[in-house]
Amino acid sequence: MRPAGVIPEQRQARRFADYLLTLGIAARLRPAPEGWTVWVVEEEALPRVRDELASFRREPGAARFAVAREAERIRAETRAAPAGPAAAALPQPAVSTPWASPTPLTWALLGFVAIAAVMTRLGDPASPLVARLLPDAAGLSASAPWQWLTPVIVHSGPLHLLFVAAVWPELARRVEARSGTAALAAMVIGFGLLGNVVQAMFFGPACIGLSTPAFGLIGVAAAERRAGAAGELEVVLAAGWLGACLLGLVGPVGGAAHVTALAGGLLVGAIAGRLRALRGRGARPSR
């Protein structure tokens, strides 16, 4: 396979892949730091795909690219075709699922959360491990710097843990597949520290729970406006959880930290989206 170019937005990348499928050109989509790379399976089709991509970049909304139904019909025929030489001749659908890449950090963090939930008895203040992971009443201290971040793996009760289990996997694995494990790690650390520090400095005890980085990821997705980056269910759950936190309905989980992380995510997403758009324009061929 050979790369033909990069399309910043996932929705547009899928639209272009559908168009190639109707032309009988087999292609794949793979997440890249700047968007989605279009890989051409047959090398001899590469020049045509690059020409078509140049046209698509100039006018992505053109009617000739609106072929989603035709592409789905071809996929259905491909799935129903019998195995053998005839089936091999049919064009193959593009791989465009946002979690196609491995997402080890997403599941590792969820595993740490589950282990911590058992070992701390769901954040029981009497648990010795809670005293090690969370700062005391005096607040954050330079003598225990890990406590600036470790609160993100502690959860206070089954409702808090249920929210994380419902939102985190879908949201984080999309980010990790698209931007990489290092990027997800940087976001978890950055949003976790930002939320905890603001919460501890101005509003009392540090915020606990992986929900703080989750709100940061939702902010990034919202600012970038990426299709599939944050599903409707995750956004609805996040809005409900944020409201419950601000109203004090679920205990001391830190609504201020969530709002701060969300604002930080919006800023990061806006900057990333702007840089991606600039790179996309710079990659267009001059005419």
pLDDT per position as a tens digit, 28-82: 998 887 788 999 988 888 989 999 999 999 888 888 898 888 888 888 887 776 5
Same domain, 145 and 51: no
Q: How many CB atoms within 10 Å of residue 197?
A: 18
Q: Can you give the pTM of this predicted structure?
A: 0.61
Counted residue by residue, the chain has a size of 287
What's the structural domain count of the chain?
Answer: 2
End residue of a domain, out of 88, 113, 146: 88
Q: Give a yes or no: residue 284 inside a domain.
A: no
pLDDT at 38: 92
Domain end (from 24, 55, 88) = 88
Residue 101 confidence (pLDDT) above 70: no
For 101-157, give the DSSP string: S--HHHHHHHHHHHHHHHHTTTT-TT-HHHHHHS--TT---TTSGGGGTGGGG---S
Q: Is residue 60 part of a domain?
A: yes
In a domain? residue 95: no
Last residue of a domain, one of 37, 59, 88: 88
The reported pLDDT for the residue numbered 276 is: 66
Whether 146 and 251 map to the same domain: the answer is yes
Q: 228-273 pLDDT, tens per residue?
A: 444 555 566 667 777 766 666 655 566 788 889 989 998 988 887 7
Q: What does the pLDDT read at residue 213?
A: 92
d(CA 20, CA 169): 31
Domain extent for 184:
104-277
CB 81 within 8 Å of CB 89: no
Cβ-contact 8, 276 below 8 angstroms: yes
User: 199 pLDDT exceeds 90?
Assistant: no
Determine, yes or no, domain membership for 202: yes
Q: Output the domain CATH number for residue 31.
A: 3.30.70.2350
115-143: average pLDDT: 82
Shared domain for 39 and 142, answered yes or no, is no
pLDDT at res. 10: 85
Per-residue pLDDT of 158-184, as tens digits, reads 888 888 888 888 788 878 877 788 999
Mean pLDDT (the chain) is 79
- Whether 227 has a pLDDT exceeding 50, the answer reads no
pLDDT at position 87 over 50:
no
Q: What is the CATH number of the domain that holds 160?
A: 1.20.1540.10
